[in-house]
Amino acid sequence: MVVYVVSLLILLVATIIFRTATKWVTKQDISFWISLGIVLLGVIASVATSMLFTIPLTLAGVPENAGEIAGYIISFCVTSWIYLMILNKLLVRGAPDKYKDVFKINYWKACLIQLIMFLLLGLILVLGLIFYKIGMSLF
Contact 18, 30 (CB under 8 A): no
Q: Looking at residue 25, what is its pLDDT?
A: 83
pLDDT above 70: residue 112: yes
For the segment 5-31, the average pLDDT, to the nearest whole number, is 84
For the segment 109-121, the average pLDDT, to the nearest whole number, is 86
Q: Following CA atoms 115, 116, 118, 124 in sequence, which dihedral angle do they give, to the nearest 10 degrees? A: 160
| Domain locations in the chain as residue ranges | 39-138
Average pLDDT across the chain, whole number? 82
Q: Looking at residue 94, what is its pLDDT?
A: 64
pLDDT above 80: residue 92: no
Contact 110, 45 (CB under 8 A): no
CA distance 22 to 16: 10
Distances (CA, A) of 134 to 14, 70, 120, 129, 137: 25, 35, 21, 9, 5
What SS3 class is residue 7? helix
